Amino acid sequence: MPTTTTIWLMLASALCWAQPPGDSHPAVSNVWGSQYPRIHSDLRVSFRIQAPQAQKVQVRLGGTHDMTRAEDGTWSVTIPPQIPGFHYYSLVVDGVAVNDPGSETYFGSSRQSSGIEIPEKGVDYYEVKNVPHGEVRQFRYFSQVTGAWRRAFVYTPPDYDTNLKARYPVLLLQHGGGEDERGWVVQGRTDIILDNLIAEKQAVPMIVVIDNSYALKPGESPAAMRPPSGPPGSFRIVISPTFGEVVVKDLLPALDKRYRTRAGREHRAIAGLSMGAAFAMQIGLGNLDRFSHFGSFSGTVMRDLDVKTSYGGVLNDGAAFNKKCRLLFIAAGTAEQSRLDAARHARAELDKVGVKHVAFDSPGTDHEWLTWRRSLREFAVRLFRNQQ
């Protein structure tokens, strides 16, 4: 039985330079020079790894797939066509889940994971084009609430450094559970999506701020997830109010001081995916004096929406809420049934009291980044319209 160290040495030595199949190409998510994983024209995916001392090797992507060993100790498999978009995956070597040395790693599911980008035919809104590009900057600020330095990523639009008299509306964009502020930049391709929309004049130039939703006061313990009480695969999260305090007391003032933001609630939006949707709704609807645009992407929390009691009852009077809200956007993938049911429940609740909202269902996608890239695109084109 090989040791864990031996396994890693075997994996690290394998970039797999063997002659690949002619109808395939390396995934764009591979590390430089790695020929595997490879994506075929029909979206099958081939994996290859050298692990001569291993007894069993598998790939976990859209299921678990056994790999076949060759005489030289190379293991390989071609798995069925995969759904387009970004997916986390892992190799399993003698029962130990490890990352593929041929792939870049991404922070997801609370750990660094291998990831693969499956191309979406005829779609390029999240691909780099020959258009003016904005920048993603690291923004560090000190939080009086947590007593610690924090990091956010800030997207500034293409003309930010040349049009020095301009001020910009702000979108706060929150990640999901088990991810962090890197997710919307790396996996979500937020800057590319905004660059392309702005170049096509489909979106207003805006600043996008992506912060880490995890925040604890000194001595505060992390909130635990409650046991599942809904359909299989669903869960409920206890959302701590601490990050909301960070946003209001620390983040927004620091942003307004450092960046050329536009003052006023009508120039601020907040949105998020999954757990981030819960944060976005809690913070945004709890601070209507600071935000006017709201987005929930795959938000399980919407399953519990009650217009009479949720968020302090701010939704109960539809006419009054509509005067304050510029956009309430609720999205889900059609293949993520529990989140889709939650979204439909929330929309029905809002209809009861006449709260205006926009619904978006991403066709054929599950609880995954393609759902959230599509949701961001549909949300961004509707933000900050009719502003001077």
**Last residue within a domain, chosen from 84, 118, 152:** 118
Kindly report the CATH number assigned to the domain that includes residue 207: 3.40.50.1820
Does 157 share its domain with 97?
A: no
Q: What is the pLDDT of residue 14?
A: 43
Q: Which two tokens stand for residue 45?
A: 């995916």
- Residues of the domain holding 59: 4-118
Residue 21's pLDDT band, with cuts at 50, 70 and 90, is low
Q: Is residue 41 part of a domain?
A: yes
Over range 286-307, report the average pLDDT.
94
Does 57 share its domain with 172?
A: no
Kindly report the CATH number assigned to the domain that includes residue 86: 2.60.40.10
Q: What is the pLDDT of residue 221?
A: 80
Q: What does residue 343 show for φ and ψ, rounded to 5 degrees?
A: -65, -40
> Which of 298, 280, 145 lies closest to 209 in space, CA to CA?
280
Q: Is residue 59 part of a domain?
A: yes
Q: Is residue 366 part of a domain?
A: yes
Does 187 share its domain with 46?
A: no
Q: List pLDDT tens digits, range 362-379.
A: 999 999 999 999 999 999
Does 151 share its domain with 106?
A: no
pLDDT of 386 above 60: yes
Does 357 share its domain with 213?
A: yes
Strand 148-156's sheet: what is its strand order?
A: 135-143, 148-156, 207-211, 170-174, 268-273, 293-297, 327-333, 358-362
Does 294 share its domain with 211?
A: yes
Does 71 share its domain with 150?
A: no
Number of domains in the chain: 2
Q: Is residue 127 part of a domain?
A: no
User: Alpha-carbon distance 97 to 28, whole Å?
Assistant: 23
Does 222 share its domain with 346?
A: yes
Q: List pLDDT tens digits, range 28-67.
A: 999 999 999 999 999 999 999 999 999 999 999 989 999 9
Q: List pLDDT tens digits, range 222-249.
A: 765 444 444 444 445 557 899 999 999 9
**Last residue within a domain, chosen from 118, 148, 169:** 118
Q: Is residue 90 part of a domain?
A: yes
Does 312 share its domain with 366?
A: yes
